[in-house]
Structure 1
Amino acid sequence: MLKRLLATGLLSLSLLQTTMAQQVEPCEEGEACTLALYSEVSEKWQFINPSRAHQDFAPYSTFKIPNTLILFETGQINSADSYSIDLHRYPQQSWWFSSWREPAHKLKSAFDHSVLPLYQQWSADLGKTAYEQYVAEFGYGNKDVSGPVDRFWLGDSLQISAVNQVEFLRKYKHRQLGLKDATYEEFEPVFLQRSGQNVRLYAKTGGGMLPEGGARGWYVGIVEDAAGSHYFAFNMDAENFSQLAKIRVEKALASLRAFNVSVPAMKD
Structure 2
Amino acid sequence: MKKIFYYVLTLLLTLGIVGCSAQPESNNPNILSEVNVNQVQADPFFKDHDGTFILRDLKTEETYIYNEQRANEKLTPQSTFKVPNALIGLQLGVVRDEYDIKKWDGTEHEIISWNHDYTLGSGMRDSVVWYYQAMARDIGEQGMKEWLHKLSYGNENISGGIDQFWLQSSLKISPLEEVDFMEKLYKEDLPFDKSVMKTVKRMMIQEEGDHYILYGKTGTRITDMGLGWFVGFIVVENHPYVFVTNLDDSGTVAKNITLEMLKQYNLITE
Match in the other structure for 1:176: 189
Residues 160-202 of structure 1, C-alpha deviation per residue, up to 9 Å, x if partnerless? 1111001001111222211112211222221111111120011
Match in the other structure for 1:11: none
Within the candidate set 65, 71, 84, 2:103 is matched to 84
The TM-score, its normalising length taken from structure 1, stands at: 0.78
* Of 30-39 and 54-63, the range deviating more from structure 2: 30-39
| Paired residue type of 1:92 | T
The change in CA–CA distance for 1:74 and 1:30 in structure 2 (over 3 A counts) is same
Deviation at 1:65, TM superposition (A): 0.7
Deviation at 1:82, TM superposition (A): 2.3
The change in CA–CA distance for 1:94 and 1:149 in structure 2 (over 3 A counts) is closer
Deviation at 1:248, TM superposition (A): 2.7
The change in CA–CA distance for 1:76 and 1:261 in structure 2 (over 3 A counts) is farther
Match in the other structure for 1:52: 70
CA distance in 1, matches of 2:52, 2:217: 16
The TM-score, its normalising length taken from structure 2, stands at: 0.77
Match in the other structure for 1:215: 226
User: Secondary structure of 1:172's match?
Assistant: helix
Contact map agreement 1:70 1:134 (CA 8 A) in 2: yes
| Paired residue type of 1:231 | V
The change in CA–CA distance for 1:245 and 1:159 in structure 2 (over 3 A counts) is closer
Deviation at 1:137, TM superposition (A): 0.9
Deviation at 1:257, TM superposition (A): 4.0
| Paired residue type of 1:247 | V
Within the candidate set 159, 170, 173, 1:157 is matched to 170
Match in the other structure for 1:93: 108
Please identify the structure whose Cα radius of gyration is greater. 2
Match in the other structure for 2:208: 195
Residues 81-128 of structure 1, C-alpha deviation per residue, up to 9 Å, x if partnerless? 32213x2xxx61352x222112x2222211111111111111111101
Deviation at 1:49, TM superposition (A): 1.2
**Number of residue equivalences:** 227
Match in the other structure for 1:68: 86
Within the candidate set 214, 218, 228, 2:239 is matched to 228
Residues 62-92 of structure 1, C-alpha deviation per residue, up to 9 Å, x if partnerless? 000111111110111122332213x2xxx61
Residues 35-73 of structure 1, C-alpha deviation per residue, up to 9 Å, x if partnerless? 011111332010111211111110000000111111110
| Paired residue type of 2:54 | A
Match in the other structure for 1:6: none
CA distance in 1, matches of 2:44, 2:136: 35
| Paired residue type of 1:192 | I
| Paired residue type of 1:142 | N
Residues 103-161 of structure 1, C-alpha deviation per residue, up to 9 Å, x if partnerless? x2222211111111111111111101111111111111111122200010001110011
Greater relative contact order (CA < 8 Å, ≥ 6 in sequence): 1
| Paired residue type of 1:220 | V
Contact map agreement 2:108 2:115 (CA 8 A) in 1: no
CA distance in 2, matches of 1:246, 1:184: 25
Q: CA RMSD for the aligned pairs? A: 2.1
* Of 227-236 and 66-75, the range deviating more from structure 2: 227-236
**Which runs of 5 or more residues in structure 1 are unaligned?**
1-24, 239-243
CA distance in 1, matches of 2:222, 2:213: 30
